Structure 1
Amino acid sequence: MEKKTDFFCEKVIPTGRYTEDSKITDRIFYHIYPLGFCGAPGQNDFSSPAGNGLRSIADYIPRLLELGINAIYLGPLFESGTHGYDTLDYYWVDRRLGDNDALRFLVQRFHQAGIMVVLDAVLNHTGRHFFAFRDIQAMGSASAYRDWFANIDFSRRSPVGDYFSYEGWNGCYDLVKLNGHNREVRDHLFGAVEFWIKEFDIDGLRLDAADLLLPDFMDELSSRCKKLKSDFWLMGEMVAGDYCRLTGGGSSGIAPGKRLDSVTNYELYKSLWSSFNDRNFFEISWTLNRQYGPDGLYRDIPLYTFADNHDVNRIASIIKNKAHLFPLYGLLFTLPGIPSIYYGSEYGITGEHAADSDAALRPAWDSQGMQKAREDGGLGADMEQAIAGFIGLRKNSVALREGSFRELFKDHEQYAFMREAGEERALVGVNAGAETKAIRISGAALGGGSLKWRDLLSGEEFSVRDGWLEFPVHASWMRVLRSTHPYLS
């Protein structure tokens, strides 16, 4: 496979760093699942001394800055029994990773590097070791915490042998659903979040299973967080459904951003890889126009976009043609939204669900050949360089970060769209075919303006001739054309 970065012109993409007053659309996220990344034991013995994993993540910061990262999303960090989503103590860092001092140190190091810090907040359910659930196991109906969990029934036994039944997340009884209506539950959870903000100085949260949280629960959480930090950022996990239900806007009846600030864009995630695998850009066309077109549902909502994460198969395991990884990531960084990279995927590592484990999706950093892929200069090094280039391009284009979206061209294997912000226009063309193909767009569709366009990736220039702009796109690659480029003089 040819090196895609051969199509980059030398030093065409400057680097940049963001200050604390940056907009959320200026952020490039890097997602780390700490228990996996740090190689923590799969089971917590609740007796071992605190580990050093969290502190070691700080050593990785220089490489994140080289890549262009300015925001970090850390998966579950607080004391749990297994994978982190079965919390037993919201006030103490999981001993397998370190302690509260280690988290405080890590956040300080990220902030010193200009990196925003977002933590995973598991507020829909706890683990069976959570103190309130253990009290019910011991005290039964006499427990002061009998109303802390959803659908507790002392007339029935649970599928796992308790002498009472309860609701588990998605039928999983290791994850005990909390009763979000209960005032004491809310005070405990919101108190923990306020503790995280005050003690660790975090900048935002990703709410696990947010689509299962009560609307007024999220409203109160948002209000309490933003009283402590006015720019505190809240993102909700939602796999399917109307994202406006979590953020506001649309038909929700509440103002955009009044509840949560963003949602995980699983709809676009699926369209990204499926369009390449099926060589059918009509699918992503439908998604993008529905979300961001002239009447798009989410035009005013900066959704969190990704190619993979800790819950789905690695994109390099999903994509049929590995060469398509390059234009796929190119789209991720040129489309509307807040783009994110899942650790290691910038090297093209693979990983798939097993019947009884997600461990392959969440490897330790020194496994899976991640370091070797970078050092050997193979696909991993080429992908890393390409992604850094896409990030640099986005960081220096207001149109790509904040601009409107307008579709210009679609076919099964080729697609083109415009991003516009003020006087800046960026035209993106993608080719999923096996051969170089030309994309042809009428001057009328371009809306007039400049007759000359420059590819920010290669440095080549193209002109509108006889009322048409035509430009070739290499196989499994893309172009990003700009009609105004003050920093490329």
Structure 2
Amino acid sequence: MRTNMTGYARDDVAALLKAVLAFGRRLRSERTSTRVTSSAASMLNTLSVRGPMPTRQLAIEERLQPQSLTRIVKRLEEDGLIRRDRGKEDQRELIIALTKAGTRELDADLLERQRWLEQVVADTLSEGDRALLGDVARLLLKLAFHDTEAKAQETDMPSWVQHAIFWHIYPLGFVGAPKGIDMINDIDHHLDHIIDWLDYAVELGVSALLLGPIFASSTHGYDTIDHYRIDPRLGDEADLDRLVAAANQRGLKIVLDGVFNHVGRGFPKFIEAEDKGPESEAARWFLPIDGDGPNGTAAWKTFEGHEGLIALNHENADVADYVLDVMTHWLDRGVSGWRLDAAYATPTSFWQKILPAVRQSHPEAYVFGEVIHGDYVEFVQETGVDAVTQYELWKAIWSALNENNFFELAWALDRNNRFLEHFAPFTFVGNHDVTRIASQLEDARHLPHALALLLLTGGTPCIYSGDEQGFKGIKEEREGGDDAVRPAFPDNPDGLLDDGLPLYRLHQDLIGLRRRNPWLVRARSEALHLENQQMVLKISAKGNRLILAFNLGDDDADLPAGDASSLLLGDGTLNKDSKQSTVHLKAHGWCVLSS
């Protein structure tokens, strides 16, 4: 590798390397938690960033001998921090995955070290030295991800998605449908209820609807029993046709939720497989496993241990043909794309086969996958989807605002920059599976901060219906624990309470700014100023720029604002200077500046 450095620069690089190594050792030594060792904490962090992985790959990532890996994995599994799963394609392969308890342990471990570092910084560094920390952090992050821009190639995406802002509806909850399909005797034409909200969506400023599951299922919609039939709790095909036509008349696209990783126990092929046994043709649609199922019947692989969700065999050509036909059938009927539920659980090779055929007949179809952990870029490249859900940024937004830790957000935004070199992530601060943002944030004064980050940073943003009104709801890990985040809506917008109007207006303002600056879909974020409680971001792409400034502190703050020229939104006061402008923010304030 050739370099072009002076001797002084080489000395500086050598000093930097020694300093980083020494700092890393010291930071690891300051852990007081006795539950996990430093090696175990490193493994948890790898699984958090990279997602589930085979034991051999994990050993390589952690640079561990097999005996050491086995010992650490055994201890973490005993503590409930990880789990071992069988490989999808090779049942002999063991996949190590982080559990929710493991995520909590990792967060606690990182918080412990952060608090130690905060105390050391306060006790050791002068005010001038502390002011340099943000620049140091930004430079280290730049070095860590230095090669992503050079290697990256942006993928194509449907032209309409370049300007899309989604409004996400969970239909069964939205219309107040019964919890089970067996609780109705006839078709309930409830999809018309959504039509009554389309003008509201247009006034909000969105350009597309993401509908949760609408196909026949036994309970919550994700246990599909017929992908060609509308759930009778919602209506029939004529109702969907009416909804699509009404949306299109208003310039709104509709994207459907496709549950193709698994099916419900009432799926006809599964009923046939249960009846004829694991050697039947129907059984090849699924994955028999050793042991007995309910009532002594054959046992089948399920999705994440849910007995009501039977995993499909994605190596079966009949399954591939079925999924392809379902996707094209509804695209032919006028929908504009698909969300692939639990895409992370489906072999990437399956989508490699399906999606080219989908795009051959529907080149403008938008397809994105639900992916939580793991390598987002690799998943997009291996499957051919347009995007994946950006759970990293979702978590970083509310966590940073709650913990007064903008360094966490800066790290996530740098990761998002890397993703943007390859695809536009599907971004959100709420959906049907997580606690609502108004409940997630510990300080309601920081809601505008979260919304500005969602709507003015790179990606394709999505607003979960009700969040724009400040709806609250806590996701609980129990049966029915999603109900609070999937409530019934009034018959029409007139039934909304006035309390939500200010937040709705703020959404309109931010969405309006987004639509006037369509370049934001590929915009990169750079921290111009970074402290625990204050952050100034430059959002830029194609020669365009915006400046975002945030204050989480109880005191007013004067922050550098680069070449900002005017205030666009928020409560800041801009002080322009010939060299560098500054912005004055009140306690817990925020603003958007033109540049």
With normalisation by structure 1, the TM-score equals 0.85
Alpha-carbon distance between aligned partners in 2 of 1:141 and 1:157, rounded to the nearest angstrom: 12
C-alpha distance 461-402 of structure 1, shift in aligned 2 (>3 A): farther
Alpha-carbon distance between aligned partners in 2 of 1:26 and 1:190, rounded to the nearest angstrom: 27
Q: 1:201-249 CA deviation, whole Å, 9 max, x = no partner?
A: 111100001011122211222112111211111110011111123211x
C-alpha distance 353-311 of structure 1, shift in aligned 2 (>3 A): same
Aligned to 1:211: 344
Aligned to 2:162: 25
Aligned to 1:338: 460
1:156 pairs with one of 270, 291, 298:
291
Alpha-carbon distance between aligned partners in 2 of 1:371 and 1:473, rounded to the nearest angstrom: 36
Does residue 416 in structure 1 map to residue 540 in structure 2? no
2:415 pairs with one of 290, 308, 316:
290
Contact 1:440 1:469 in 2 (8 A): yes
Identical-residue share of aligned pairs (%): 32
Three-state SS of the structure 2 residue aligned to 1:98 is coil
Q: 1:301-359 CA deviation, whole Å, 9 max, x = no partner?
A: 10011111111111111110111111111111111111111111111111112322111
Q: 1:428-486 CA deviation, whole Å, 9 max, x = no partner?
A: 11122233311125xxxx4xxxx561111169884552622211123333221113xxx
Contact 1:197 1:228 in 2 (8 A): no
Ranges in structure 1 where 5+ consecutive residues have no aligned partner:
1-19, 249-253, 484-489
Aligned to 1:247: 380
* Counterparts of residues 308-319 of structure 1 (less than 5 Å): 308-319=430-441
C-alpha distance 46-194 of structure 1, shift in aligned 2 (>3 A): farther
Contact 1:405 1:417 in 2 (8 A): yes
Alpha-carbon distance between aligned partners in 1 of 2:209 and 2:405, rounded to the nearest angstrom: 33
C-alpha distance 314-21 of structure 1, shift in aligned 2 (>3 A): closer
Does residue 356 in structure 1 map to residue 479 in structure 2? yes
Does residue 184 in structure 1 map to residue 308 in structure 2? no
- Alpha-carbon offset, residue 47 of structure 1: 6.2
- Alpha-carbon offset, residue 35 of structure 1: 0.3
Does residue 68 in structure 1 map to residue 191 in structure 2? no
C-alpha distance 229-415 of structure 1, shift in aligned 2 (>3 A): same
Code of the aligned partner of 2:485: L
Three-state SS of the structure 1 residue aligned to 2:273 is helix
Ranges in structure 2 where 5+ consecutive residues have no aligned partner:
1-156
Aligned to 2:559: 439
Contact 2:386 2:423 in 1 (8 A): yes
C-alpha distance 433-460 of structure 1, shift in aligned 2 (>3 A): closer
More helix by share: 2
For the pair shown, the structure with the greater C-alpha radius of gyration is 2
Contact 2:215 2:221 in 1 (8 A): yes
Aligned to 1:387: 507
Code of the aligned partner of 1:418: K
Aligned to 1:35: 172
Alpha-carbon distance between aligned partners in 1 of 2:447 and 2:416, rounded to the nearest angstrom: 23
Relative contact order: is structure 1 or structure 2 higher (C-alpha 8 Å, sep ≥ 6)?
A: 1
Aligned to 1:229: 362
Q: 1:27-70 CA deviation, whole Å, 9 max, x = no partner?
A: 11000000000100001018622112112211101111111010
1:268 pairs with one of 393, 413, 433:
393
Code of the aligned partner of 1:467: K
- Alpha-carbon offset, residue 299 of structure 1: 2.8
Contact 2:428 2:463 in 1 (8 A): yes
Code of the aligned partner of 2:265: R
Contact 2:225 2:265 in 1 (8 A): yes
Contact 1:29 1:339 in 2 (8 A): yes
C-alpha distance 279-461 of structure 1, shift in aligned 2 (>3 A): closer
Q: 1:342-385 CA deviation, whole Å, 9 max, x = no partner?
A: 11111111111232211111000039x9966x543x3x111111
Alignment root-mean-square deviation, CA: 2.2
Aligned to 1:124: 261
Q: 1:260-303 CA deviation, whole Å, 9 max, x = no partner?
A: 001000000000000110111010001111221xxx24433100
Mean Cα deviation higher: 94-103 or 423-432: 423-432
With normalisation by structure 2, the TM-score equals 0.70
Code of the aligned partner of 1:117: I
Alpha-carbon distance between aligned partners in 2 of 1:142 and 1:46, rounded to the nearest angstrom: 34
Three-state SS of the structure 1 residue aligned to 2:591 is strand
C-alpha distance 187-22 of structure 1, shift in aligned 2 (>3 A): closer
Contact 1:344 1:370 in 2 (8 A): no
